[in-house]
Amino acid sequence: MVLGQQSKTDLQHLQAEAATIGVEGRNWIVYSQLLLTTFLWGLAWPVGRLLATNLPPVSIAVLRYAIVVPVLFGVLRVKGQSLRIERKWIVNLVVMGVFSTTLYQIFFLYGVRYAAASDDSLVIGIGPVLVAIMASFVLRERLTKTKGLGFVAGLAGIGVISLLSPNNDVLNRPLGISLVFGGAIAYAVYTVTLRRFVAADRIDDPVSAPSSLAILAWSPSVRRHNLSPPTQRKSQPMAWSKLRLDSDRCGPSQQTTEEDA
């Protein structure tokens, strides 16, 4: 009996260790993907500056999406994702496309043309702070002192980079940095619009929401402030009393009365 319990315990330990190893393996895969994403994102700035100094910035953006869009559609087809677009999504998708795909790309490519890529990459880092500030007004997220301090520090950093950056071999550093800052604002507007759109669509139709956008709907900020908990049903005392009366009809007292009769 003791040997049986010991073998069962050993089996449970082996299963727990196997599960732990599996989780750690998946974590390493995720970290590797994040590292690759960081490398590719950082590579986009010097490559973008190299292209923007020799080609028209808008033409570069057109060529980029001429390559990217077919690839993304191919990925969706391989994964079996639906391409159906609801009519109610069109306005939000147009707004997000204008701010993210059009304005952000124009600001980004013209910015790296007039300023150094390293300076521009530092300026774009204020984007998350801008998202937090805008979300406090649009999504009614809490505006804390830390967020306000981060916004002030970000603006101060942009001023320092504009005035004291050692990268002097550029066309117009203040103009380039201003354009990149405009791109950060455009992308912040896109992010806040995306969060509000996905959260609203999850409430209206949780089944048909696009899977690629639904992930953002369950981020902590959206889930905490936009997805209201399900309403609780009120108790119905009349229904319970009626049920109790119905059960009394079939109880022992009724049977006794029928037998006496």
pLDDT per residue as tens digits for the range 92-106: 899 999 998 899 989
Q: How far apart are CA 113 and CA 230, in angstroms?
A: 51
What does the pLDDT look like over 73-88, one tens digit per residue? Answer: 899 889 888 878 888 8
Residue 50 CA neighbour count, 13 Å, CB half: 5
pLDDT, greater one: 242 or 141: 141
Phi-psi map region of 211: left, alpha, beta (phi>0 left; psi -120 to 50 alpha): alpha
If one compares 35 and 57, the residue with the highest pLDDT of the two is 35
Residue 171's pLDDT is: 85
180 versus 229: the higher-pLDDT residue is 180
Output the CA–CA distances (angstroms, integers) from residue 189 to 69, 156, 208, in the order listed: 22, 21, 25
Instruction: At 258, list the tokens.
Output: 């029928």
Say what the pTM is. Answer: 0.60
The answer to whether 95 and 194 are in contact (CB under 8 A) is no
pLDDT in tens, 190-224: 999 998 888 876 555 544 444 344 333 333 333 33
Tell me how far apart the alpha carbons of residues 119 and 160 are, in angstroms, rounded to a whole number: 10
Average pLDDT, the chain: 75
C-alpha distance from residue 85 to each of 82, 91, 93, 166, 229 (Å)? 9, 11, 10, 48, 27
pLDDT confidence of residue 233: 44
Res 211: pLDDT: 39
Task: Count CB-CB contacts under 10 A for residue 90.
Answer: 10
Is the pLDDT reported for residue 10 higher than 80?
no
Q: Locate all alpha helices (DSSP H) within 53-144, ordered by sequence.
A: 57-79, 90-96, 104-114, 117-123, 127-138
Distance from C-alpha of 15 to C-alpha of 185, rounded to nearest angstrom: 49
**Residues making up the chain, counted from first to last:** 261
- Which of 12-16, 24-28, 160-164, 209-213 has the weakest average pLDDT? 209-213
**Res. 257: pLDDT tops 50:** no
Measure the CA–CA gap between 200 and 81, rounded to whole angstroms. 21
Contact criterion met (CB below 8 Å) for 128 and 86 = no
Evaluate if residue 21 carries a pLDDT over 90. no
- Helical axes 145-164 vs 127-138, angle rounded to 10°: 140
